[in-house]
Amino acid sequence: MDWADELKWDADGLIPAIAQEAGSGDVLMLAFMNREALARTLHTGQAVYWSRSRQRLWHKGEESGHFQQLHELRIDCDADVLLLKVTQLGHQPGIACHTGRHSCFYRRYADGQWQTVEPVLQDPAQIYRR
Amino acid sequence: MDWADELKWDADGLIPAIAQEAGSGDVLMLAFMNREALARTLHTGQAVYWSRSRQRLWHKGEESGHFQQLHELRIDCDADVLLLKVTQLGHQPGIACHTGRHSCFYRRYADGQWQTVEPVLQDPAQIYRR
């Protein structure tokens, strides 16, 4: 993977990856990848991240069913950030966040507070019951 | 800034911030903010980051003239990533990247290579001559 050697992996061997919804352009989430996560993402066509909290590969959707189909992979000028264009799959499509919302960026700053501006589309208790 | 205490600043006191173009939805870049950068961004209405390479506050556009006007600030579910919706200002608007391109994410993965898919809109030698 010569092309992977061009990336600037951090001290933990990770690189941040922004997931953006193809079509809408909505920014869904930011997670991290190591080399194996990136290789699996390209091989399977579905987003695979490295979970820093669980310290293991995380095939996004493995528990929730909310997989991400990869359409395009981009790298920034400094080669230290990835941008994935994805379709957010699932029994109920379009839910990227573990809170059951479309995007993880569902809180907006206003008047000195973080205000929730996106609805819960599916109850997390239902998402993670399976 | 109670609302800033809700953010998860990393060990260096930083938080990653994604800049997304309002309207088009194009992801322009990712940079970092410390508390002062965030406070100045909200106070001035223009993006101010923390430059890790120069270890100082970086009012985006201070050298290039390519300022970013803030429209909306969001935070993700884990409170460890910011999303800024901005208008990319400048003598020639719409140029976020120091290479003179619209977005820093101008290279796309294809067939084992990173292929440049966005044109240079302004020669960097011109941008940084001023």
**Is B2-125 in CATH node 1.20.58.100?**
no
- Which residue of A3, A64, A109, A116 to mutate against B (max B Cβ within 10 Å)? A109
Q: How confident is the model at residue A2 (pLDDT cuts 50, 70, 90)?
A: confident
Give the start-to-end residue ranges of the domains of chain B: 2-125
Whether B37 has a pLDDT exceeding 80, the answer reads yes
Residues β-bridged to residue A83:
A18, A74
Cβ atoms of residues A20 and A27 within 8 Å = yes
pLDDT digits (tens, 9 = 90+) for A11-50: 999 999 999 999 999 999 999 999 999 999 999 999 999 9
pLDDT digits (tens, 9 = 90+) for A90-106: 988 999 999 999 999 99
Radius of gyration (C-alpha) of chain A in whole angstroms: 15
pLDDT digits (tens, 9 = 90+) for B83-93: 999 999 998 89
Helices (H), chain A: 2-5, 35-44, 124-127
The model's pTM is 0.97
Of B25, B30, B113, Cβ closest to residue A18: B30
CA distance B129 to B99: 13
Q: Is A57 near chain B, with CB under 8 Å?
A: no
- CATH for A2-124 (3.10.20.810, 1.10.1520.10, 3.30.499.10, 3.30.70.20): 3.10.20.810
